[in-house]
C-alpha cells in the first residue's frame, strides 16, 4: 500500500514554495506522510507548520493535481500563509520561492503537480 502524503502548494507573488530535505539535492513541495486516519488536507497544514513554521490561513484540496508514484500518493492542497518560511526543523536545509522558470533540481512529481496546478489555477501564467 502506498503512503499517503499531504502535499502543499503555497503561492506568493506568482512564485511557488519549494523545500529541500537535508542530505538531498532536489527540491520538492512542502508536505509529508499523513498520520493514521488523518485527512490529507490536515496533513499538509500540519507539515507546513512543522517543516517551515508557517501557519495556513486558508486551505483547499486539489484532487485534480494529485500524483501517485511508486512509493507515495501525493494528495495535493493549496495553502495560503502570510508567514515567511523558517527552517528550524531538522528535516529541511533550504527553501526557495520558485518562479517556475529557474532551472533548479526538482523531483519529477513536482513538475507533474505544478503543471496540473498551472493549467487549472494560474490562468495566463
pLDDT on residue 123: 55
Calculate mean pLDDT across residues 91-110: 93
Is it the case that residue 89 has pLDDT exceeding 70? no
pLDDT on residue 90: 78
Task: Please tell me the CATH superfamily of domain 3-121, with its number.
Answer: Nucleoside Triphosphate Pyrophosphohydrolase (3.90.79.10)
pLDDT on residue 125: 45
- Tell me the domain boundaries of the chain: 3-121
Residue of higher predicted confidence among 107 and 1: 107
pLDDT on residue 44: 97
In the three-class reduction of DSSP (H, G, I as helix; E, B as strand; rest coil), residue 100 is classed as: coil
pLDDT on residue 114: 95
- Of the candidates 113, 87, 109, 85, the one whose C-alpha atom is nearest the C-alpha of residue 97 is 85
- Tens of pLDDT, residue by residue over 3-44, are 999 999 999 999 999 999 988 999 999 999 999 999 999 999
79, 62 Cβ separation under 8 angstroms:
no
Burial class (CB in 10 A: 0-12, 13-18, 19+), 123: exposed
Report which secondary-structure segment, H or E, holds 5: strand 3-12
- Tens of pLDDT, residue by residue over 66-87, are 999 988 999 999 999 999 999 8
Amino acid at each position: 500500500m502506498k503512503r499517503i502524503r499531504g502535499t502543499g502548494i503555497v503561492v506568493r507573488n506568482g512564485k511557488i514554495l519549494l523545500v529541500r530535505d537535508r542530505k538531498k539535492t532536489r527540491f520538492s513541495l512542502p508536505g509529508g506522510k499523513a498520520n493514521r486516519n488523518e485527512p490529507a488536507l490536515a496533513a499538509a497544514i500540519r507539515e507546513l507548520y512543522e517543516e517551515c513554521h508557517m501557519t495556513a490561513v486558508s486551505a483547499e484540496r486539489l484532487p485534480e493535481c494529485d500524483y501517485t508514484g511508486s512509493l507515495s500518493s501525493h494528495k495535493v492542497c493549496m495553502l495560503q500563509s502570510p508567514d515567511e518560511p523558517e527552517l528550524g526543523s531538522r528535516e529541511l536545509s533550504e527553501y526557495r520561492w520558485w518562479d517556475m522558470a529557474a532551472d533548479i533540481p526538482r523531483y519529477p512529481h513536482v513538475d507533474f503537480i505544478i503543471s496540473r496546478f498551472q493549467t487549472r489555477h494560474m490562468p495566463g501564467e
